[in-house]
Amino acid sequence: MSNGKRATGEELAGDELAAWHGMLEAHATLTRELDRRLRSVHGLGVSEFDVLITLFNGPGRGLRMTDLAEAIMFSPAGLTHMVTRLERDRLVQRAVDPGDRRSFLVRLTPDGLARLVAARVTHNDVIRALFTTKLTSAQLRHLAGIWAAILP
């Protein structure tokens, strides 16, 4: 019984340990390299890229602060700080939501759109080079199923 699942209280071992530890290592390795490349080539960190791509995919290239924070798994305060930086760099713009004046709509500026489009190429290249092209189609399919089973 050197592999497989164990009972509560026992140590993680075998595939259980490899599955968990592998995710930690893979995540750290991939996001660090992605961050390094995005930062050196485009002056954007992974977090900044996530904001821009999420806005890009939103209706009208924009989103409310709350919805944006939820989408990228940021705290409200954290997002405020980040958007303040991005607005200073003229990549996004805030405007009061006419429908609910408590809300701010964040939108990509033309500069932000241009930076995003350029960075997206690097982003996808890195992910393919370090991740998806190292896996078979079956492995990619399995992985998608695994995340679906774990996430609510």
The site for its own copies (CB under 8 A) is made up of: 3-5, 8-12, 15-16, 18-31, 73, 120-121, 124-125, 127-128, 130-135, 137, 139-151
Interacting positions 45-104 with DNA (CB under 7 A): 45, 47, 64-67, 69, 73-85, 94, 97, 100-104
Closer residue to DNA in complex, CB, 15/97: 97
**If you count them, how many residues does the chain have?**
152
Backbone angles phi, psi at 54, to 5 degrees: -70, -40
Distance CA 106, CA 70 (A): 14
Q: Going edge to edge, which strands form the sheet with 92-96?
A: 62-64, 104-108, 92-96
Which is nearer to DNA, 102 or 134 (by Cβ)? Answer: 102
| Partner whose binding site includes residue 90, from DNA, its own copies, none (CB under 5 to 8 Å by kind) | none
Tally of CB atoms within 10 A around 95:
11
